[in-house]
Chain A
Amino acid sequence: NDREYNLSFKYATNAIKTSKYNLFTFLPLNLFEQFQRIANAYFLFLLVLQVIPQISSLSWFTTVVPLVLVLVVTAAKDATDDIKRGKVFSEHQIRTRPHTHKHTPSKYPLISLFPALRLQSEKWMNVQVGDIIKLENNHFVTADLLLLSSSEPLNLVYIETAELDGLVCLLCYKVLQLVSEVRCEPPNNRLDRFTGTLTYAGQKYALDNEKILLRGCTLRNTEWCFGLVLFGGPETKLMQNCGKSTFKRTSVDRLMNVLVLCIFGFLAFMCTILAIGNVFWELNEGSHFTVFLPRQNDNNAAFSAFLTFWSYVIILNTVVPISLYVSVEIIRLGNSFYIDWDRKMYYARSDTPAMARTTTLNEELGQIKYIFSDKTGTLTQNIMIFNKCSINGKTYGDVYDDTGQRLEITEVKRVDFSFNPLADPRFVFHDHALVEAVKLENLEVHAFFRLLALCHTVMAEEKKEGELFYQAQSPDEGALVTAARNFGFVFRSRTPDSVTIVEEGEQRSYELLAILDFNNVRKRMSVIVRSPERKLSLYCKGADTIIYERLHQSCSKLMDVTTEHLNEFAGEGLRTLALAYKDLDEEYFSQWKERHHEASTALEDRESKLDQLYEEIEQDLLLLGATAIEDKLQDGVAHTIEQLSKADIKIWVLTGDKQETAENIGYSCNLLREEMNEVFVISGSSPEEVRQELRHARSSMKPDAADSVLLPERTLVKGVKVITDEEVNGEYGLVINGHSLAYALERSIEVEFLRTACMCKAVICCRVTPLQKAQVVELVKKYKQVVTLAIGDGANDVSMIKAAHIGVGISGQEGMQAVLSSDYSFAQFCFLQRLLLVHGRWSYLRMCKFLRYFFYKNFTFTFVHFWYAFFCGFSAQTVYDEWFITLYNLIYTALPVLGMSLFDQDVNDMWSFQHPQLYIPGQLNLFFSKKAFFTCALHSCYSSLMLFFIPYAAMHDTVRDDGKDVADYQSFALLTQTCLLFAVSIQVLGTWSSMSYWTAVNTFFVLGSLAMYFAVTFTMYSNGMFLMLPSAFPFIGTARNSLNQPNVWLTILLTSILCVLPVVTYRFLLIQLCPTINDKVQMELSHAFTASLFSRRSGYAFSHAQGYGDLVTSGRFLRRPAMFLSSGFAHTGRTTTGFSPMGRSAGYSPTGRPQNAKVPDVEGTSLQMYRTFTDSAL
């Protein structure tokens, strides 16, 4: 352990900076970053222009003040982000370590180092690659370590990996004893893989994931251990995994950038016109006006025009609003906070509020067209319950009465497991036959449960005698092991080499010879154990199709029966696993074991070699039976899906489950419906077959378009083809299998697949791998100009979450990985409808309103300069006071527009839920598009004409009522800017769009800003300010002298009214002649409002009660008829009358009850809806 030698390789040190800046680098670094943004750079350029006296048409402060303010705000945001990032990191650590009360972790825990067998304390920061360090219990591992030895008997260590994947799960690791040289792979970010070799005394040993302690783990239940540092600091796997997420931008963002470029072009255009105007003016007028204003450069009109061009660039710079980006950021941040703060998206049971992890995508939430959803843990609770099983051709789990009628489980007494002292009291099972079978010592049943107790990777913890606690990696396994435990095959403890179980009260220890671990390709796991009787057996459990391929011919009969059972289970939406075993030959095994060792120490291709070996031994298995685990649907899933599909959002479920399971879940959560004209199943096993099936599906959906090879596609500028939506009559569903999907995703068929899939209302892809999930998302993103959202909870959804425009993570049972890579996270699927229909819609609406208004106010402001140019000899004379120019965007209009974009609601959340169709305009980009932008520019053109010419006409030849001057430049400037501010403020309050929403805060902002304007104006124009700095405040007295004139105020009134009335007229006529969906709902809302003016609260409560009743009913019926989506305004509550109970499953009791009654058994499950109910009824 030569430290110097190791140091010479320049490995990364262990110091990690999670924050981007520190105190000293912040200013230069941040400024540098900020000036990389084009808008800021542009303003710097303007500043340079302003310094040139020939060009400078505005004082320097008009640009500097806003620029500095923008920079400060952005810097403050960056700084808080940076601080927050550090904080989240540490908070996260604290939160996920619930057991470390006694141990107070200091920032740099002192650890022990022993070069040359001498222990020495050192800060983590100073740890180098190659050091050997000693970790003590509850220590936080801060580098990737190779385990050397530990205090525990078998050199096991227990660690908690919550930090890495959020799973609180103790894993045991084997520890190596000796070290000399270690070779390993270069640093990468795969948490689950590690390859390396260790050479000691000429012998090579394999290093794999099991021998590595990763940074982010915490040592548990282990006195001490020694480790060799392999990777330090930024090279650790945790760090390699951080910060790699791609930067997502919203479509509004992209449009905004395009528009800003357009505006630049427009600015150049305007300046060119004015420069040309200047040429003509100079030739016709200016060259003669030299008596009083001689020209230095002797009437060179061209040069003068050139200067004028740049002068106008400075003056008209407000068309490219510097504060736009900052304001957008602030609005998004605000709307993200609303998501964080929403109590209706807070899940009390796991104490998880919704979280907007990305604050830049909010408005995109209002534009979602496609949702890609995982099933397990997303639509379902991922709380697994061992529900049924099939052992040796006999099913257990259902209860029948004497006449063979299946009984409802609620009517049957649950099985009493008191005979088993180690049973888990929470386990519920109803079929007594299985217990009888166990008691009767049925061999197969015993083997079945023995398998369940042996073949798994669960860790047991026995804190007190007889109180077992299982830590399972997946809930399925936990459920299976718990089932075995209750039926008398109690898994008690494990060491790396053995598994101890209690069989019928008798403790037996099995020697664990090999674990053939589970992965997504193998879809099975096996263990090879030697029983106390020295019998060698392989136990295998896995997906039925996989197992069936590896069964011995002798059990073909059993296979048929079990298949039937499996189909039955799957038909009820249960998750199935097949179990098989095989006795092994001692000789064969020892030979296999040798090859296994060889393969597992291979440096290259280790995994495929191992796979081959596993394949070899997992042959000729004997079928034992199958298990069926129920995964309950989450609350409100069906209702949510129904709402979302009413909002014209297409939902694709991508699941790893079997087709039957997936289909059934599809029915039970309302995705597929009985009324659907047809549900196509694509299960072809060759590209041609798949293509044929897809074609067939399409032709039956839309006969006339069937043969058309010509695709209705549009080619975009970049050459990317966009497939437009095709109208289909009727509703169709599509179910596609994993292997068919693989073909469908091939280049030649993908378009075919997409076309067909997009014509269907619902698409379910089963047996999908994580990669395919991402591929499907990418496919839709590629050919459809739509916004996609992926929602999932597990590690297998990460790729899909990252691929979609918006990724939503469900913080559920499967750890934090999905959440960590998501943009939004919450605890329940049903919150999705609130996220989209309420928050997303509002965010989108607000953002669009904001953008339209923002462009409007700046254009109006700027165009007045343009008109004035024609009257001031194109001399780049500003219309307004320079202070007004400086403060217009920053103070006078900033708060009202922020108020609007933070508080505006066109309709409240309940109405949003009642009319999901309100969501559709967002998908179609109706509120902010190039067209909307153009309209907005025209509008501001009109306003600016009014704002300039009315004061012009009213003032040009008039005087004050005492005969003195009022048509002077300063009074005119004051008049115009006051008119402008009034016009703009009235628009933000009232007529901006069809609807406005006046909260006290809004009104306060607007009135406050106006008051502020007058206060600031009077201050700026006051004697005191002038006496302090005569040259900076030449407008002294202007306000006093002109604002006391009635004709000035009459002009202001006239101008403001003229700016507003046409908009009102236009909106009114539009509402009357071709109302949009928003207008309709608002009309209805206003009727409802007036109707319930006297009993408003009860009205609200009632309207909510309907939605609630719907939720209750929809949650309780597995399968029920669809509502007609076209009935736009039908109340959702009354359509849930008919239902057809089908299948049967614990927890759901399809008994007809009055729909609005509070049903006790769902009380716990719809907590949040209850809260809504009470809130609004208060």
Chain B
Amino acid sequence: MVKQKQETANQPDNTAFTQQRLPAWQPIISAGIVIPGFLIIGLAFIGIGVALFVTSQSIQVLEMDYTGVDKTSPCNRCTDPNVKSCLCQMDFSIDTLFKGPVFFYYGLSNYYQNFRKYGVSIDYNQLFGDLSYFTSPSEKCSPYQYDNNNNPIVPCGAMANSMFSDTFKLFQIVNGTNKEVPLDGKGIAWWTDSNIKYRNPSVTPLQMAFNNTVKPLLWANPAYQLDPADANNNGFINQDFLVWMRRAALPNFRKLYRRITSGDYTQGLPAGNYTLQIAYNYPVLSFGGRKTVVFSNVSWMGGKNDFLGIAYLVIGSMCIIMSIVMLIVYAKFRFSEEE
């Protein structure tokens, strides 16, 4: 017995792994699988596509350009860089009820928030409320690290510096008078941003933390005075600031400005005439940018986007067409494989 063992000492193990006999399933691209598969995928896609398309169609969107490039545009006079604290008004009317909740966005185009050097110009440690980064902001913020007097800029960096500064007021014209539509600026940023990612330093009053620092060059107010109305909406957790700091992926983007959810407008914006009062501060014309305001409501699939629905419909139909083509090919050439 022992001797026999000795003789086959070098015999390899007989396991499924070493002998490459692992149990396996081999799906084959055969007509029996592919053609029905395509058909099913096609039908499913058409179903999804229809659902998406219908949903998308039901979403109302109202978009208005207020850059003021046009001479006739009400904001045209604000485009002159010499005009300070310019106010302009845009009138518009809604024919049917704009179902609520209505979301009020501002949009920028040809604006490269996704430019690499723009994107990296941010100090997460500083924005996390780390006081040591208040006195010496990160290198990355350059050239918005220190001002000309070598004072640290807080919040530093190009991204913070370029924060959107137009403000809006919406009025419904009821019987010739302007009735202000309450705009809700709370909860417009991601919860994770306002509660974890961005923190104010735990110094009270908040202003104390900003001693010996300067506000970003383009800002009108320092960070601790971003929202004069709400003391808890200041510093780095200011909702508008957070929305801005969530950098856009593409050069044309929208950002949430306010929600219209309260007062008489819980159900949406009723049909009627409205006027939008714009505090025009933000310069975009120098680089060919455009500014828009967008009113929109949402559905289960988010904002209005026809592409997904159409794409699903197209792909679904193509799958069905392909399955028919394959069926024809299969029927015609099947016998050749038997030869």
Contact = CB atoms under 8 A, between A and B. Distances in A.
A285 interface: yes
Given A292-B161, A294-B143, A959-B256, A967 B250 contact: yes
Interface string B88-113: 00000000000001010100001011
Contact of A968 (B18, B143, B246): B246
Interface string A401-430: 000000000000000000000000000000
B22 A994 contact: no
B169 interface: no
B23 A1037 contact: no
A961 B302 contact: yes
Contacts of B303: 957-959, 963
Contacts of B251: 871-873
A1057 B299 CA distance: 25
Contacts, number: 290
B10 A1047 contact: no
Contact of A1073 (B24, B300, B333): B333
Contacts of A903: 20, 22, 24
User: What range describes how many residues of B lie at the interface?
Assistant: 35 or more
Contact of A958 (B287, B305, B312): B305
A1011 interface: no
B301 A1050 contact: yes
A1034 B246 CA distance: 11
Interface string B4-46: 0001111111100011111111111111001000100100010
Nearest to B331: A1072
Contacts of B10: 346, 351-353
Interface stretch (B173-181, B187-195, B205-213, B262-270): B187-195
Given A353-B12, A872-B116, A964-B189, A1031 B162 contact: no
A589 interface: no
Interface stretch (A22-30, A918-926, A1078-1086): A1078-1086
A1086 B34 CA distance: 14
B278 interface: no
Interface in B38-94: 38, 41, 45, 48, 52
Contact of A285 (B9, B193, B287, B298): B287
A1023 B192 CA distance: 8
A338 B29 contact: no
Contacts of A340: 12
A1054 interface: yes
Contacts of B249: 955-956, 967-969, 971-973
A1069 interface: yes
B53 to A, nearest CB: 12
B48 A1050 contact: yes
B112 A957 contact: no
Contacts of A188: none
A1058 B315 contact: yes
A1064 B112 contact: no
Most buried by A among B14, B114, B143: B114
Interface in A1051-1090: 1051, 1054, 1057-1058, 1061, 1064-1065, 1067-1069, 1071-1073, 1075, 1080, 1082-1083, 1085-1086, 1089
A971 B124 CA distance: 18
A1151 to B, nearest CB: 32
A1086 B304 contact: no
Interface string B118-159: 110101110010100000001100010000000000000010
A590 B337 CA distance: 83
Nearest to B309: A1050
A1071 B283 CA distance: 60
A1036 interface: yes
Contacts of B20: 338, 342, 842, 903, 905, 909
A291 B112 CA distance: 12
Interface in A885-933: 903, 905, 908-909
A963 B138 contact: no
Interface string B239-270: 00001001111111111100100000000000
Interface in A42-78: 53, 57
A1135 interface: no
B248 A967 contact: yes
Given A285-B287, A959-B105, A1046-B301, 15 more contacts: A288-B286, A293-B112, A341-B13, A341-B18, A348-B8, A353-B11, A875-B118, A876-B116, A957-B252, A995-B28, A998-B24, A1061-B38, A1069-B329, A1086-B26, A1175-B14
6 contacts: A343-B19, A877-B114, A953-B307, A953-B311, A1037-B191, A1068-B29
Interface of A: 53, 57, 285-286, 288-294, 296, 311, 337-338, 340-344, 346, 348, 351-353, 842, 871-873, 875-877, 903, 905, 908-909, 950, 952-973, 990-991, 994-1002, 1023, 1026-1027, 1030-1031, 1034, 1036-1037, 1040-1041, 1045-1047, 1050-1051, 1054, 1057-1058, 1061, 1064-1065, 1067-1069, 1071-1073, 1075, 1080, 1082-1083, 1085-1086, 1089, 1175
The 5 closest A-B pairs by CB, nearest first: A1037-B192, A972-B249, A292-B162, A341-B18, A288-B287
